[in-house]
Amino acid sequence: MGGIKVKVMRPIFKPEVAESFVLYPYRIYHLRLFYKRLGMKDRVFDYYAYIDLYRLGAERGDDFIDLEEWEVDEKNVMEPLVTEEEARMKAFESAITWGNSRVVSWWLPRIEVIREELAYKVFWVYEEDGKKLIMDSLDGKSYELTGERKCRGFPCR
C-alpha cells in the first residue's frame, strides 16, 4: 500500500518509543504588509500566520517554520475542515489586526503573499506506565488519550 507525500513541521520533541503519529493540518503564510501613511514614511512589515485548519484559529509566528517532506499512510493524516480561502482570509484578518496595532494609517495595508504552505504538526502516540499518551512534537507537552473526552471535568456533549 503506497503512501502520500506531505510537508510536516520539523519535530523538535519525540518520545523514546513512539507507536505511531497523527498529522494535524495547518496552513502557514508569510505575508508582507504595505502601509501608506500621510506625511510620513510608508511602513512595511513581515507577518507569519499559522492557521489551524480544524478550528480556524490563527497564531503569529516569528518566522516560517522548517518543513520536511514525509511519505505517510493516509490514515495518519487528519483532513482539514477549513477551506484554503477561509484560511487565507483568517491569515489576512490576523495580519491586519496585528499590523494596525503597530502603525497609524488611514488605509488598510496592501498584502502580498510571499509564501504559503499546507503543512502538518506531528503528534506522537505512545504508551508510558500503561497509559496511552499523545505528545505535541513542537512543545513536548503530553496528554493522556482516553476513550471519553472531558470538557472542564465533565463529558463533552
What pLDDT digit, counting tens, does each position of 26-72 carry?
Answer: 999 999 999 999 999 999 999 999 999 999 999 999 999 999 999 99
What pLDDT is recorded for position 80?
97
Quote the domain boundaries for residue 127: 4-155
Say yes or no to pLDDT of 18 above 80.
yes
What pLDDT is recorded for position 146?
80
> What are the φ and ψ backbone dihedral angles of 86, each rounded to 5 degrees?
-60, -40
Mean pLDDT (the chain, rounded): 93
Residue range 149-155: average pLDDT?
49
Provide the domain count of the chain.
1
Residue range 74-79: average pLDDT?
96
Rounded to two decimals, the pTM is: 0.88
As a whole-number percent, the residues of the chain with pLDDT over 70 amount to 92
What pLDDT is recorded for position 155?
47
Say yes or no to pLDDT of 87 above 90.
yes
Say yes or no to pLDDT of 132 above 70.
yes
